[in-house]
Structure 1
Amino acid sequence: MSHTPSPAAAAVEVGTKDLQGPGVVTCPNPKMSLWSNHPRVFIDVATTGEGKCPYCGTVYRLQAGAKVHAH
């Protein structure tokens, strides 16, 4: 089965408190409707400042000026 990302996918700005593990966010995120769920994926936003979900096309952007600290 193939899934094509929606061309009208939303962009979500995330802060450091939204990150899990080594600078990643999960999609679907807790604010998404239950009907739109897909398998959970971990998206790296720390490396380049943004990442895109391969299922729904949602773009996650790290807030300007946010600093990701390694443990």
Structure 2
Amino acid sequence: MSQAIELLAKDLNPQGGVFCPSPKADMKVWNNHPKVYLDVAREGHAKCPYCGTVYQLKPGETVGSSH
């Protein structure tokens, strides 16, 4: 099993997610699988249904209205 890709809150888009495939996971976007949106902010992590890559917030990172 591969390592989880740790993300900072600033790595998430305004909706609180990321797209996979992702350059952050050392993937070339054109050669992996269809682009899929993953909601990381909801639970602090999300797993891609195509490739199984797990994206998670680094410990201590928070997403929300702390402006």
CA radius of gyration, larger in: 1
Gaps of 5+ in 2: none
Gaps of 5+ in 1: 1-7
Which of structure 1's runs of 4+ aligned residues deviate more than 4 A? none
User: Residue 8 of structure 2 contacts residue 58 of structure 2 at CA under 8 Å; is this kept in 1?
Assistant: yes
CA RMSD of aligned residues (A): 2.0
User: Residue 9 of structure 1 contacts residue 56 of structure 1 at CA under 8 Å; is this kept in 2?
Assistant: no
Count of aligned pairs: 64
1:1-71 superposed matches below 5 A: 8-30=1-23, 31-33=26-28, 36-70=31-65
TM-score of the two chains, using structure 1 as the length reference: 0.75
